[in-house]
Amino acid sequence: MKNSVAAHYTHGQLLDRILGGVEAIDKTPATVTVDELAPVDEFHIGGRQASEDFISQLELSTNDHTLDVGCGIGGTSRFVASRFGCRVTGIDLTPEFVSTGQSLCDWVGLSDQVELHQGDATAMPFTDESFDAAFMLHVGMNIANKAGLFAEVYRLIKPGAFFGVYDVMQTSDEPLTYPVPWSSVPDTSALASQEQYMEALEQAGFDIVKIRDRREFAAEFFAETHRRMEQAGGSPPLGVHLAMGDSAPVKISNMVENIAAGRVSPVEIFVVK
Ligand SMILES: C[S@@+](CC[C@H](N)C(=O)[O-])C[C@H]1O[C@@H](n2cnc3c(N)ncnc32)[C@H](O)[C@@H]1O
């Protein structure tokens, strides 16, 4: 499954497409900012707006070393580094996402603070209890072995540290309409319910702190994005559609339909070690 997941996300020319978008907003790699990249590099429902709200609940501070599990092209990692002054280590399965993310860190001058690695979140090459907090946004939908995933995060964070999960979770037995942003076919999707997440997190040793269903926020976010696109007459130069390739419009509209039909919902779960 891992190869198929990485193949699903591999674009081939992602950095070039992002460069094109940057030039279209009259910027260059030397002048573009972390905030200007946010529309393209925060690959989860609600983008930067969702990250701001989600990450603020982790109560991070400057000296923290944080772990971004399934960091994609590193948008949330750069946001955390620039907003909170933290050191961030990200890890992602898709080689092109990691190399693209490293280039974006260079562009915005964050390579000293943000390190991105290629690897599997169920076997991460880091030392026990080396992180002050961990977060994971829209990744568990591709990882069937949630027990292994959460045991790894538990091993890597310090006692008393928080771990925040923001994933799309299953809310009914009705089958999904594919393709969706994380998978084109059911075989590479590993959706689980909130209850299954909680069970796997507790089995790993975590205590649940709080849970928040973001269905309403998602519906408002999609409606607002749609309004803006209608006004602008199409997609903006920088947006998550770039990472999703040619099938972006159908993946996004299926996601909206699946949420509206009550089949899935984006949910936050915060736990402590
Ligand atoms: C929808 S993207 C989210 C990326 C990022 N968290 C964000 O919000 O911008 C899902 C990411 O999970 C990564 N992923 C999937 N399975 C993984 C695994 N076993 N280990 C590490 N990363 C994985 C994919 O490569 C992809 O970058």
Per residue in 71-99, pLDDT tens? 999 999 999 999 999 999 999 999 999 99
Q: Which atom of ligand 1 approaches the CA of 97 most closely?
A: 27
pLDDT for residue 234 is more than 80: no
Sorted by where each begins, the domain ranges of the chain are 2-117+128-272
- State mean pLDDT over 219-238: 84
Fold topology of 2-117+128-272: Rossmann fold (3.40.50)
Q: How confident is the model at residue 26 (pLDDT cuts 50, 70, 90)?
A: very high
Confidence class for position 127, pLDDT limits 50, 70, 90? very high
Q: What is the predicted pLDDT for the residue at 245?
A: 84
> How many A from CA of 233 to the centre of ligand 1?
30
In angstroms, the Cα distances linking 202 to 132, 198, 206, 211, 265 are 19, 6, 5, 14, 21
Probe target for ligand 1 pocket from 105, 142, 149, with the most ligand atoms within 8 Å of CB: 142
* Res. 233 pLDDT band, cuts 50 70 90: confident
> What per-residue confidence (pLDDT) applies to 69?
98
Tens of pLDDT, residues 47-62: 999 999 999 999 999 9
Residue 13 Cα to ligand 1 middle (Å): 18
In the reported structure, the alpha carbon of residue 119 is separated from the centroid of ligand 1 by a whole-number distance in angstroms of 10
Give the max Cα distance, the chain: 50
204 pLDDT exceeds 80?
A: yes
Residue nearest to atom 10 of ligand 1 (CA): 139
| Minimal-distance CA residue to ligand 1 atom 13 | 70
**Pocket around ligand 1 at a 6 A CB cut-off:** 2, 5, 9, 42-44, 70-72, 75-76, 91-94, 97, 120-122, 137-139, 142-143, 181-182
pLDDT in tens, 114-126: 999 999 999 999 9
pLDDT confidence band for 28 (50 / 70 / 90): very high
**Lowest model confidence (mean pLDDT) among 17-31, 96-110, 180-194, 241-255:** 241-255
So what's the pLDDT on residue 243?
A: 84
Q: At what angle do helices 75-84 and 95-107 cross, to 10 degrees?
A: 30
Q: DSSP for the chain?
A: -HHHHHHHH--SSHHHHHHHHHHHTT--TTT--HHHHHHHH--STTHHHHHHHHHHTT---TT-EEEEET-TTSHHHHHHHHHH--EEEEEES-HHHHHHHHHHHHHTT-TTTEEEEE--TTS--S-TT-EEEEEEES-GGG-S-HHHHHHHHHHHEEEEEEEEEEEEEE-SSSPPPS-BTTBSSGGG----BHHHHHHHHHHHTPEEEEEEE-HHHHHHHHHHHHHHHHHHTS--SSSTHHHHGGGHHHHHHHHHHHHHTTSEEEEEEEEE-
Nearest alpha-carbon partner for 91 in 47, 156, 141:
156
Q: Alpha-carbon distance 102 to 96, whole Å? A: 10
Q: Ligand 1 pocket: which of 11, 93, 116, 169 to mutate (most atoms <8 Å of CB)?
A: 93
Which numbered atom of ligand 1 lies nearest the CA of 42? Answer: 9
> What average pLDDT does range 34-56 have in this prediction?
96
Ligand 1 pocket test target in 3, 53, 92 with most atoms within 8 Å of CB: 92
pLDDT confidence tier of residue 227, bands split at 50, 70 and 90: confident
Locate the ligand 1 atom nearest the alpha carbon of residue 6 and give its number.
25
Q: Which of 168, 175, 172, 131 is nearest to 153 (CA)?
A: 131
Q: At what angle do helices 34-41 and 47-56 cross, to 10 degrees?
A: 110
- Residue 180's pLDDT band (boundaries 50, 70, 90)? very high
- As a whole number, the mean pLDDT across the chain is 95
Per-residue pLDDT, 239: 84
Distance CA 168, CA 46 (A): 12
> Atom of ligand 1 at shortest distance to CA of 120?
20
pLDDT exceeding 70 applies to what percent of the chain?
Answer: 100
pLDDT value at position 93?
98
pTM: 0.97
The pLDDT value recorded for residue 161 is: 98
Question: Sorting pLDDT into bands at 50, 70 and 90, what band is 226?
Answer: confident
- Whole-number Å distance, alpha carbon 130 to ligand 1 midpoint, is 21
For ligand 1, atom 4, the nearest C-alpha belongs to 72
